[in-house]
């Protein structure tokens, strides 16, 4: 007897696929809104100060920001702050299916620029940590550096798969790259979500910007999105509608938490500095 005779109706078979597609589209839309709000903040705060030659304003936000007599180090910081504004816009455009499918030439050109700027962001970020330091302790610096190294590694595999014309693997590595490139943004969103649900800095010492919660967030900024992404890849290949639906629920939960963090970050961190 053929198994198709006792299989679930077509509508039921498609339910998990539809749920997965809708949940991923919602996650992407929410992430892009949040990232482009962050880009607006970077342009209006850092960009305005740069154009007005008032870089000392950066010291209000950045530890060991602009230092007199260190032109090369200052250039690295300027690049590390301003380049991600383009990286976040370009990265999001690479993931929108309509743009990828209908404007392939733009997708290729934008992808090359995106990869180059993502690598520059990683290199300048690691340079800043090694030469200027940043907030937190040594463990946090190592975790942030590890995120930067993941960017370089994932960028390599993204290019390698494209050159091999293995476009299925290329898209997966590009999505992994997008996740780790977004680490700095993700950390801020997670931090504001944590502060919101706890009503304050639980597990965080803001005097030194250390504490168990900060270390967990340093890992979670790249590990948690990667885990969810790998679950999505597995669900996309699975024939189990239950598994697809379960992963869809995980993505929806992640999206809701992200939305709370984005709203809190925009209202509490970004908007007050550009108002």
pLDDT in tens, 238-248: 999 999 999 99
Question: Is the pLDDT score of 7 beyond 50?
Answer: no
Residue 10 falls inside a structural domain: no
**CA–CA separation, 25 vs 156, rounded Å?**
26
Percent of the chain with pLDDT over 70: 89
Instruction: List the structure tokens of 3.
Output: 């198994």
* Residue 154 covered by a domain: yes
Separation between Cα atoms, residue 192 and residue 155, nearest integer Å: 28
Q: Rounded to whole angstroms, how far apart are CA atoms 218 and 216?
A: 5
Closest by CA to 271, choosing from 67, 57, 94, 37, is 37
Tell me, yes or no, whether 227 lies in a domain. Answer: yes
Is residue 158 included in any domain, yes or no?
yes
Residue 149 lies in a domain: yes
Which range marks the domain in which residue 96 is found? 23-274
What was the pLDDT predicted at 8?
46
- Residue 7 resides in a domain: no
* Residue 165 pLDDT exceeds 60: yes
Residue 265 in any domain: the answer is yes
| From 115-124, 131-140, 180-189, 260-269, the region with the lowest mean pLDDT | 131-140
Distance CA(112)–CA(106), nearest Å, equals: 10
Tokens coding 261: 């963090």
Cα 65 to Cα 152: distance, rounded to the nearest angstrom: 24
Confidence of residue 100 (pLDDT cuts 50, 70, 90): confident
From 30-39, 45-54, 260-269, the region with the lowest mean pLDDT = 45-54
The domain total for the chain is: 1
**Residue 14 falls inside a structural domain:** no
């Amino acid at each position: 007897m053929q198994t198709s005779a006792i299989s679930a109706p077509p509508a039921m078979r498609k339910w998990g696929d539809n749920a997965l597609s809708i949940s991923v589209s919602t996650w992407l839309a929410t992430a892009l809104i949040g990232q482009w709000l962050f880009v607006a903040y970077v342009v209006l705060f850092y960009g305005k100060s740069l154009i007005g030659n008032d870089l000392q304003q950066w010291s209000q936000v950045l530890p060991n920001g602009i230092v007199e007599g260190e032109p090369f180090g200052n250039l690295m910081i300027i690049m590390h702050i301003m380049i991600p504004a383009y990286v976040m816009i370009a990265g999001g455009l690479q993931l929108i299916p309509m743009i990828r499918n209908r404007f392939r030439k733009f997708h290729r050109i934008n992808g090359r620029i995106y990869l180059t700027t993502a690598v520059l962001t990683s290199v300048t970020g690691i340079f800043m940590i090694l030469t200027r330091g940043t907030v937190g302790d040594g463990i946090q610096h190592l975790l942030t550096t590890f995120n930067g190294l993941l960017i370089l590694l994932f960028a390599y595999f993204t290019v390698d798969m494209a050159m091999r014309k293995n476009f299925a693997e290329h898209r997966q590595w590009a999505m992994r790259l997008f996740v780790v490139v977004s680490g700095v943004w993700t950390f801020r969103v997670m931090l504001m979500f944590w502060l919101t649900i706890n009503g304050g800095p639980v597990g965080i010492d803001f005097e030194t910007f250390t504490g168990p919660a900060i270390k967990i967030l340093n890992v979670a900024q790249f590990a948690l999105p990667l885990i969810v992404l790998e679950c999505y890849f597995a669900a996309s290949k699975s024939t189990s509608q239950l598994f697809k639906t379960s992963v869809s629920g995980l993505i929806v939960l992640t999206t809701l938490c992200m939305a709370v963090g984005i709203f809190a970050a925009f209202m509490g961190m970004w908007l007050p500095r550009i108002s």
